[in-house]
A and B are shown apart, each in its own frame.
Chain A
Amino acid sequence: MDLLLVILIDGLIYGAWLFIVSVGLTLVFGVLGILNLAHGSLYAIGAYAAASAVGLYFTLGGDVFPLGSYAAMILAALLVAVVVAPILERGLLRHFYHRDEVLGVLVTYGVFLILEDVIKLIWGVEPLFVFEPYDLLGTIEAGPLFYVAYDFLVIAAAVVTGILVWYFLNGTNRGKVVLAVIHDREMSQTMGVNVDRVFMLAFGAGVFLAALGGALTAPMISVSPGIGVNVIIVAFAVIIIGGLGSIEGAALGAVMVGIARAASVHLVPELELFIIYFVMAIVLVFRPEGLFVKTQTRKI
């Protein structure tokens, strides 16, 4: 019974992390039609920025109020979005909106290559460590088990992110416009939607979410070159399972993969790396385009 609980909690923690790193990817794809291979690099930039911000915060006397370091992390992610998103979106991606989707993959692959080195140029190749935010909240006892409370903060962050994204899309006028664009880009354009603005907004949100994922992760790892390279792979698996462009799908996919991985880690550790793809393969057998996307027949 305990094992089940452990798997559930571990799975939710991992799933929460997965959701935060994937939701931006699926949002950007849904709106812009571009599968952003540089999403992992944006995650890495978020992690580095957060590490620097937290370091700066404590150097400037943040010890008086250590919880403020969380604000520093979020602000760092926001800064990344404000600086990087317009450069990429206005400077490059907008030339590729009505082109082949594979071209979008290639272009963002180029961006990935560039950003990987830009990170090294800015932050160097030595790893950064910022453990303060991770230890701040102490530990939580769950039955016979101890968890670092920060892990639950990640769950909370995922839930809050999910709710905010959902509320924005379904509860605000601007969000409904975004949904309309996801649903049918051309139609929205003829209806007078300023698609350009929606694209900028969505890409900015996507970059922020990627950077936020990195920022939240920074205190849990050693921030070093290459941390973003794997993120795109797991995030892609998650959004394929949910259906490309579906926010709900990303949430469900993240929880499924999270729990499956936790189960594998505790039961058959050798399969840990396969389990993500296993879940993906099973889903694709029954739903060739993911859980929340209906396969449509072309009209001829």
Chain B
Amino acid sequence: MLSEPTVRELESTARRLRVEILKMLNMARSGHTGGSLSAIDLLTCLFFNRMRHDPGNPGWESRDRFVLSKGHAAPALYACLAESGYFPRDDLKTLRRLGSHLQGHPDMSKTPGVEVCTGSLGQGFSQAVGLALAGRLSGGTSRIYALLGDGEVQEGQIWEAAMAAAHYRLDNFCAMLDMNGLQIDGKVSDVMEVNPLGPKFLAFNWHVLEIDGHDFQAMDRAFEDAEKTKGRPTMIIARTVKGKGVPFFEHKASYHGVPPSDEELGLAMEHLGHS
């Protein structure tokens, strides 16, 4: 259970990170707005409350590891890494620029704190399963977290990896599903229905939790529950709102891969209490 001040602090951090995300996307003039905003509360809870990591020593062997399998939400990850201190916040202004260490999709070779290369959907999830296997072989206590999109689970590789994680009883592995209900071409249910997801992962022998992905208490309880679960990996299905935090972006598939214009940025900043 998080204390009230901790919840307020996480909410305030997430609000600040939303501003960073919108600013970097606006400067980059391209990138994925909606899915970064739907995921940022989950990432905030992980990076600033749950995970053991050391920005001063990104290679620390016993660290917990986070894999952004829905790699197009890179701005959310970069905002968290900068806020943690993996690199200067000013670097965020270089997102997607030639020569920048902040590529359009996460690149472990270029960005401190990025664990694996993701962006081609489905592949991060498999790599996270591999990291969990390696963690178990090394005998450490590190936990592996991965964030999937709900459109992403249309990839067949997701289900190959889901089978493997359960088969190898990876209880050091906790995946989250950012269920915002939208993908580039429209509603997930119109493009290719993926529901019911809870029963699917249950049938794949996962421990499944369903929560509100913008409720920090619920997230913390779910991470705690996952950590106590033995013999099975955990899937946290987090109901989220695409574009969350900026009313005119919310629930809109059209903001999947579109950055905020200067005018939209101004309005959004006002809404988020920044000017």
Real binding pair: no
Task: Give chain A's interface residues, CB within 8 Å of chain B.
Answer: none
List residues of B whose CB falls within 8 A of some A CB. none
